[in-house]
Chains A and B, each alone.
Chain A
């Protein structure tokens, strides 16, 4: 299993709000290392969605947000749209393992 734990799937209707959690431990998120989020449409490369826990690269809409507290982080998407349907991965750094990823969460827009 992955070092960072994510729910395998989440779903929501168009217009709704969803959150995806990413739980780590004292050697990674809990040690203060930043959390980043990527969106991956199947068959394509990952795309950076959130960096440094809360920051959006240019071009990412403000209905996407990130947060971090203790040994966990969360990604929130409000005003859900069909185009948000994808896989989402969190990523951080671990003092023992170097770069680590979450197991991924499949977002289904109902």
Chain B
């Protein structure tokens, strides 16, 4: 069965960087785009960007341009999201999500989420 397993919770100080991993299993990793979405406490979902593991194409929300990097390791079937220059407003649960087949940008499977806390 399809699974996306994310790395554990992180605590960072302002100005630091965080790298969250998302290990995929149960399907062909290079055939599906992986998106990253975050959710601040009590807030809605916020799209950050995506990577196509098959051809390395990426796209990012303008809000995070310059601060976010999304990469992948095909041998490990793992996608990574790195966010730099962290501030307190970046405290959130970060999710990876698989984009379903068929051209629609819809997320059929989600990781369990990774809580990133930014605090001095």
Question: What B residues does A97 contact at CB under 8 A?
Answer: 61-62
- As a 0/1 sequence over residues 100 to 111 of chain B, the CB contacts with chain A under 8 angstroms (1 = contact) are 100011111011
Q: A103 touching B44 by the CB < 8 A rule?
A: yes
Q: B104 touching A36 by the CB < 8 A rule?
A: yes
Q: A46 touching B61 by the CB < 8 A rule?
A: no
Contact count band on A: 20 to 34
Q: B44 touching A102 by the CB < 8 A rule?
A: yes
Question: What A residues does B61 contact at CB under 8 A?
Answer: 97-99
Give chain A nearest CB distance to B104 CB in angstroms: 5
Query: Is B58 in contact with chain A by the CB < 8 A criterion?
Result: no
Residues of A1-37 whose CB lies within 8 A of B? 2, 34, 36
Q: How far is the CA of A92 from the CA of B113 in the complex (A)?
A: 21
Say yes or no: A2-B47 contact (C-beta < 8 A), given A45-B110, A45-B111, A98-B59.
no
Question: What A residues does B44 contact at CB under 8 A?
Answer: 2, 89, 101-104
Identify which of A2, A44, A89, A99 contacts B105 (C-beta below 8 A).
Answer: A99
Question: What A residues does B62 contact at CB under 8 A?
Answer: 97
Give chain A nearest CB distance to B42 CB in angstroms: 10
Q: B104 touching A45 by the CB < 8 A rule?
A: no
Interface of A is mostly: strand
Q: B112 touching A45 by the CB < 8 A rule?
A: yes
Question: What B residues does A89 contact at CB under 8 A?
Answer: 44-45
Q: Which residue of B is nearest A34, CB measured? A: B104
Residues of A73-110 whose CB lies within 8 A of B? 89, 91, 93, 97-104
Say yes or no: A99-B113 contact (C-beta < 8 A), given A36-B106, A89-B44.
no
User: Which A residues lie at the B interface, using CB under 8 A?
Assistant: 2, 34, 36, 38, 44-48, 51-52, 57, 89, 91, 93, 97-104
Q: A48-B106, A57-B108, A101-B44 are in contact. List 5 more A-B contacts (CB 8 A).
A: A34-B106, A38-B107, A46-B110, A99-B105, A103-B44
